[in-house]
Structure 1
Amino acid sequence: MKIGLLGLGTVGTGVLHLINQNGKNIEKKIGEKIEIKKILVKDPDKKRAPLADGKIIFNPDDILEDEEIDVVVEVMGKEHPALEYMIKAIKKGKNVVTANKEIIAAYGKELIKLAMENNVSILYEASVGGGIPIIRPLKQCLAANKIHEIKGILNGTTNYILTEMKEKGLDFEEALKDARQKGYAESDPTDDVDGFDAARKLAILCTLAFNKYILPEKIYTKGIRSVSKSDIKYAEELGYNIRLIACAKVDEEDRLEAWVHPVMIRKGNPLNGVNGVFNAILVDGNAVGEVMFYGQGAGMMPTASAVVADIMDVKNNIVIKNGYEDANIVSFEDTVSKYYIRLIALDKPGVMSKITGILGNKDISLLSVVQKGVMEDTAEIVLITHIASTGKIFEALKEMQSLKEIKSIKSVIRVEGE
């Protein structure tokens, strides 16, 4: 099997090394040798791994027009020109393997349809969870189940930041700086810390778990910038960890609820103990019950592992032909949850009665109210509600912000567990 590799960055280099290192074992499993014939790169002056010697090319057509190449492996990243190369490869009758979550989340429906029309595969295990096997199990092992819910930690950068904030008492900016220094965060961390990366991955999982097609921008997304070390501390006192959770489920009316949001996870929940750069995904099926997939969600070799497994599946004739339907989406305001609210208010009589009055008028009852401290003429107040409509919570917060006694609402975090 001859491979054309589009890109030789971190993941591409990992693919090159893995095929070289495990090539004989792979050949035994699929009955055929895998050979990387050509590798497309942009920078002619960049130093490359010796394994790439003699394979480097600069014109994509040297791969896309090569009739000997069976599989095009796209590990360039970003949408363009990777999308155009993938489309051309499919039209030329080549199978495509990609780790590109941006493209699969935004154009997966069209690419799968195009692959079906050209009788080839498009496989994308590495687009979600790096080395964690989740795409393939949803397509195959769990395919007989009706999936009730899929929920998880889908971004290692944010999980590392939240872990460091708890374990070292860092604030968000300090933990982000540490993540950058260790190579876990990009120079521009927006996609990670604002939740967009997790939303793209969740969109992909929705198509597989529920046969529902949803664009990432239709998923309500809130990242972790507003989470402070105070929130981390108060969560721990209450028996919780804060994690950025991506969640999707289908209701009785076949509507899709999908969101990404900081969540307080009760100790005892499997997701509570997922620390550092690790990812974890819980899948709840009507036959299998709840199963969890856990491991490194990124990195050179874990991601390369998923890419090479997809290459092997091409040889094993595993062609997945999904016809997705557009999702009927539940508004985030129509979801329900307990909520943690931290606010700064004037330290004077009558303020709490105004706050509880606003909540009561929205049919929101309180599980607990704690005044955490007084700073000059203001007090920090932490509220935890009983399960309530998110829309009503938002309405109440808007009314609170209009009160002259409320200086600021610092944090709003969903709460899971008793």
Structure 2
Amino acid sequence: MHLDPCEGIYDNPLLYEKGWNKNLNYVIAVARDGVYDVTKRYTRKWHEVLSRRVITTEPALANILRDITRECRKNFTSEMLLKLDEREKSDAEELDRNLYSKDDASISLPGRQSGDKEWRISRSEFGSDNHCSLSSSSCPVRRCVDEHVTNIDNAFFPVIYQLVQQASDKSQATEVLETLKRILVNLKNSPFKTRRTTINAVSPNSLFSKMLPSFGQLFDALSLKSELGVDGTTNMCIASDPVKTSLALSVVFHALDDLIHNVNNCEKLDKESLSWPLLKQNRICSGFVLASGEELPFGIATSAFDGTRMSKWEEPNGATGCWIIYKVLDNRMHDLVAYELMSANDAPERDPMDWIVEGSEDGGSSWHTLDKQSSQKFDKRFQRKTFEIKSQPFLANAFRFRFLAVRDAKSTSRFQIGSIDLYARTDGVPSMK
């Protein structure tokens, strides 16, 4: 996979040819299992690239890389070598197919963002103004990888519902959630690829044990499964890809903290409490994001939608005005019923104070006002504020936040937000009765 930590961009290999206007010659990938020529993944002008590859002949280059790869694999098992051969054939076929695929014109790729402006211009890597046409943005359109965040939100519904049904009071409900958190902490502290913990330390007569079936959807969202050991113990372990579990765990701990906080803030834990902010359903995910600006590499726009407190979207020049647009995947139409903002980790002077939320039914050509807020104040770090949309229902496939002012624009030029979560109306919400 293409990854550029300086630019904060991944899986966009055409960035250099299309965005930076570079004339590529060789792109070589180095891995533990070999060395590979992946230039075809980074170009749509292969015949032009071939004309510039004059250091050696193509067969000679292939032989050199093959010899290095063979040396890297000399201690591999035959089974592993067979799998690698199959993967190489699949990768080669994919590379050849991609050479003739058409670019998605809707996805803009910017010139180089890192480094001094004059230096970038001198290297002819500044790109074209064509990529900055939307409200003068120099940012690329970024894809949100956050389906796991939505899955976790949805998976808490059966848990909360059972807590309402079975917990005698808020303290007992909190105890169940704290028990779950301790189990997940033990799991997180175990080895990455073989994460495993036992849940038998919990009393079989406890409310947690009785509620265990209601955690099934949540365990699925975390790519976890329960197994019965030969000694009769019940273990929790990884169900599939350990990377999925790792990403999801970073989100679920923060979600649990918020849920415990909201349970404690309920006047009474009953069916009437099965609403905002305790219950969060139908979070919109996997869309595309474009912003007026961003801080590389740790303050990129998609950080506002990744479900974790460890990141934030930061706009270096946004104190007196900035914007962020969220385009829904596959142009699906949604009626926004609520959204939630979370303050970032530091610098309260950069918090949003005044903003407007808008929806578009035509992908961003025209905008309809959904909500306005002014003089809002976040009292602490990582504080979540939920806002329900009071305007008439409006189906939209894009949403825009126009942040008009931060808390103290006199002391900073920057804007920051820890997270933005969008929630849609749907007929598919499980019944609360």
Regarding TM over 0.5, the answer is no
**Larger strand proportion of the pair:** 1
| TM-score, normalised by the number of residues in structure 2 | 0.28
| TM-score, normalised by the number of residues in structure 1 | 0.29
